Homo-oligomer: A and B are copies of this chain.
Amino acid sequence: MTYCVGLKLRRGLVLMSDTRTNAGVDNISTFKKLFVWESPGERSVTILTAGNLATTQSVISILDQHTKDQDAESARTILTASSMFTVAQLIGAVLRDVIARHSQETVVKAECPFSATLIVGGQVKGEEPRLFLIYPEGNFAEAAEDTPYFQTGETKYGRPILVRAFDPDMSFEDAAKLLMVSFDSTIKANLSVGLPLDMHIYRTGSLRTGICRRITPDDSYFEMISTSWGESLRQAVAALPPYMLD
């Protein structure tokens, strides 16, 4: 499994992923699932990957290779496309093609073993920052006012706190805290989601890579969250009046 979240705040984007991959509980590894491209002063694009590792690595390699090729055919890359919408289209097309090739089928189904889902966030000069969820079929949804965040992978354990405490006006510091609470609940419940976590904080208008952090198992802040949150929850329940039986 995997857990990835992309938040769209008024002040920018906060994207976080875990790094655990597994083929059964007896075969786990650490792989990066957060990838950032930039053209400083012009754009920043981040991709969070969830799904089959061969698929997602292939997609990332192809997208990256295209940005480095000089020939005409690949002229439109995630570093040259005219808008984030076109960036999402390019990524979706590569994702669909890779899955189709790996599965040797003409019809791509979301349930196929080579499937993957991507969160893409970024800003191209002249636009506001945008956030997309790209499906295995290559099509995508864009985050909007009502639900300005996307989750992929093991989304359920960490969702209630996100739904309740997310606020598009929150600071980057509070957003990072909220994500760590959400990831901690998920990591405690599902062995196939694990530390370290990768985070990219992109500030609206900066048009370059923002703050990138890796939260490792010995990160003292994450350790504090992990310990304190259980106690916070217990206290929050304790503070509510008990159900009256009589």
Whether A234 lies near B164 (C-beta < 8 A) is yes
| Residue on B nearest A172 in the bound complex, by CB | B245
Whether B221 lies near A160 (C-beta < 8 A) is no
- Judged by a CB distance under 8 angstroms, whether A139 is at the interface is no
CB contact between A176 and one of B163, B172, B178, B242 (< 8 Å): that residue: B242
What chain B residues lie within 8 Å of A174 (beta carbons)? 237, 242-243
Cα A71 to Cα B244 with chains together (Å): 44
Whether A240 lies near B232 (C-beta < 8 A) is yes
Flag A107-122 by CB within 8 Å of B: 1 or 0 each.
Answer: 0000000000000000
Whether B243 lies near A181 (C-beta < 8 A) is no
Q: A165-B234, A177-B237, A230-B164 are in contact. Are A159 and B242 (CB under 8 A)?
A: no
What chain B residues lie within 8 Å of A211 (beta carbons)? 245
Cα A176 to Cα B237 with chains together (Å): 11
Closest beta carbon of chain B to A166's beta carbon, Å: 10
Count of residues in A whose CB is under 8 Å from the partner chain: 42
Cα A221 to Cα B180 with chains together (Å): 31
CB contact between A221 and one of B171, B225, B243 (< 8 Å): that residue: B243
Number of copies: 2
- Judged by a CB distance under 8 angstroms, whether A65 is at the interface is no
CB contact between A161 and one of B180, B228, B233, B245 (< 8 Å): that residue: B233
Which among A160, A172, A177, A242 has the highest number of chain B CB atoms within 10 Å? A160
- Judged by a CB distance under 8 angstroms, whether A76 is at the interface is no
CB contact between A157 and one of B156, B181, B233 (< 8 Å): that residue: B156
- Judged by a CB distance under 8 angstroms, whether A173 is at the interface is yes
Cα A235 to Cα B235 with chains together (Å): 11
- Judged by a CB distance under 8 angstroms, whether A239 is at the interface is yes
Which residues of chain A from 12 to 31 have a CB within 8 Å of any chain B CB? none
| Residue on B nearest A211 in the bound complex, by CB | B245
Cα A211 to Cα B243 with chains together (Å): 13
Binding site for B on A (CB under 8 A): 156-157, 159-161, 163-165, 171-174, 176-178, 180-181, 185, 188-189, 201, 211, 221, 224-225, 228-230, 232-245
